[in-house]
């Protein structure tokens, strides 16, 4: 189980800045050194170091037994991770793009997620499923989805979505130490890849030592009094940009970064909404039946009387299109977020 969080302010004040991918890898390497039972498997994770640099350098330190390239057979190796986890090991298995979950979903949602429950608690499945999410580089319908809602909807998996290097490292430590299956979804645009430039936000100070971030603690990335913006992943940074654009107009937006979807920190959302009375939810996943609806429902259940206006921005229920003009249209941008905040503020 996740241990205590270090003091956040002190930790982020370190002057050692890392990209999100380096921070993730640092946590994985630390856990692998500490615990022989931790190993990593996936496609192109050994020599390539992960298509999105999620395993850079691990092969050199740990060798092929513990950093394993596997055949392109997600059903087999994700299911094998379930089996190894049930045998007491702590596998980390990478699904290269979240969009590929379809070929292996049975292993994910019928075994990985349900075996603990169906066995009446006699088995646990302490594995991490890492996977890349997100668009913004025009890779079309089969390579650009986020699918946060899909995994959070099906019971039995904890779902983690870091937006900064600091969070990425702490959440990875927690994920590997957790006795339950954790789906760790990293946004490609935040990893700090040379070939896919990140916005400035995700590269943060990261302490050298290990630290955990408990699941179920949202993080207020910007304090404000006028409108609450609840979001996650890449859109934390877009929301922060939008909020700073609005400063000059005297609109003070609060940005809540969910960090984990399962468990979800309802309290932080409600506290913020009680303060501002206005809620905008921004998500890069499809709109209907997803994260935006869930957050708004919880806000309505818990703080209906305090709410005077609600709005959501998400992918409007179309598959992610290829052409730039089309993808820009459906993926909520900074300007869309700023406009929505302004509208709520009026």
Ligand X SMILES: Cc1ncc(C[n+]2csc(CCOP(=O)(O)OP(=O)(O)O)c2C)c(N)n1
Least distance in angstroms from the C-beta of 200 to ligand X = 30
Please report, as ranges, the residues that interact with another protein according to CB under 8 A.
43-44, 46-48, 51, 69-73, 75-76, 99-100, 102-103, 136-143, 194-197, 287-288, 310-311, 313, 316-319, 321-326, 328-330, 332, 336, 339-340, 343
- Both structure tokens of 256: 């809540």
143 is catalytic: yes
Q: Which does 287 bind (CB under 5 to 8 A by kind): another protein, ligand X, none?
A: another protein
Of 78, 18, 24, the closest CA to residue 187 belongs to: 24
Which two tokens mark 226?
């006028």
Residues 6+ apart with CB under 8 A from 147: 98, 99, 101, 133, 285
- Helix residue ranges, H only, the chain: 8-12, 20-34, 58-62, 74-86, 105, 115-118, 148-153, 165-177, 234-247, 266-276, 291-303, 324-330, 334-345
95-103, 158-166, 328-336, 337-345 -> range binding ligand X (CB under 6 A) = 95-103
Q: Which residues of 71-84 are buried (b: 16+ CB within 10 A; e: fewer)?
A: eeebeebbbbbbeb
Instruction: Give the active site residue among 143, 173, 187, 237.
Output: 143
Instruction: Assess 108 for contact with ligand X (CB under 6 A).
Output: no
From the list 26, 31, 43, 294, which residue makes contact with ligand X (rule: CB under 6 A)? Answer: 43
Among positions 96, 251, 273, 340, the unique one binding ligand X when judged by CB under 6 A: 96
Nearest to 238 by CA among 216, 261, 214, 221: 221
322, interface contact from ligand X, another protein, none, CB < 5-8 Å by kind? another protein
Does residue 103 belong to the site contacting ligand X (CB under 6 A)? yes
Summarize as ranges the residues that interact with ligand X (CB under 6 A): 43, 72, 74, 96, 100, 103
Known catalytic residues are 143
């Amino acid at each position: 189980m996740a241990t205590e969080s270090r003091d956040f302010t002190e930790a982020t004040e370190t002057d050692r800045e890392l990209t999100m991918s380096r921070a993730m890898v640092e946590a994985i390497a630390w856990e692998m050194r500490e615990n022989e039972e931790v190993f990593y498997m996936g496609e192109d994770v050994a020599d390539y170091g992960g298509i999105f640099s999620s395993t850079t350098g691990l092969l050199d330190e740990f060798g092929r037994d513990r950093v394993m390239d596997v055949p392109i057979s997600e059903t087999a190796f994700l299911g094998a991770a379930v089996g190894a986890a049930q045998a007491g090991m702590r596998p980390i298995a990478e699904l290269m793009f979240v969009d590929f979950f379809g070929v292996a979903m049975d292993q994910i949602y019928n075994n990985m997620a349900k075996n603990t429950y169906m066995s009446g608690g006699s088995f646990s499945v302490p594995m991490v499923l890492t996977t890349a999410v997100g668009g913004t580089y025009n890779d079309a319908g089969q390579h650009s989805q986020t699918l946060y809602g899909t995994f959070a909807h099906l019971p039995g998996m904890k779902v983690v979505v870091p937006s900064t290097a600091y969070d990425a490292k702490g959440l990875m430590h927690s994920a590997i130490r957790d006795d339950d299956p954790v789906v760790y979804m990293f946004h490609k645009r935040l990893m700090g890849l040379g070939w896919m430039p990140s916005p400035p936000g995700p590269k943060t100070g990261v302490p050298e030592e290990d630290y955990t971030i408990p699941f179920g603690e949202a993080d207020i990335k910007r304090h404000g009094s006028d409108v609450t913006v609840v979001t996650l992943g890449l859109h934390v940074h877009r929301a922060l940009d939008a909020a700073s654009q609005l400063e000059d107009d005297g609109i003070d937006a609060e940005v809540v970064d969910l960090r984990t979807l399962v468990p979800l920190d309802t309290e932080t959302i409600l506290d913020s909404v009680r303060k501002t009375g206005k809620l905008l939810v921004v998500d890069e996943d499809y709109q209907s039946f997803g994260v935006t609806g869930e957050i708004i429902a919880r806000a309505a259940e818990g703080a209906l009387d305090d709410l005077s206006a609600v709005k959501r921005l998400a992918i409007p229920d179309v598959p992610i299109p290829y052409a730039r003009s089309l993808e820009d249209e459906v993926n909520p941008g900074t300007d869309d977020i700023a406009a929505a905040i302004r509208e709520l503020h009026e």
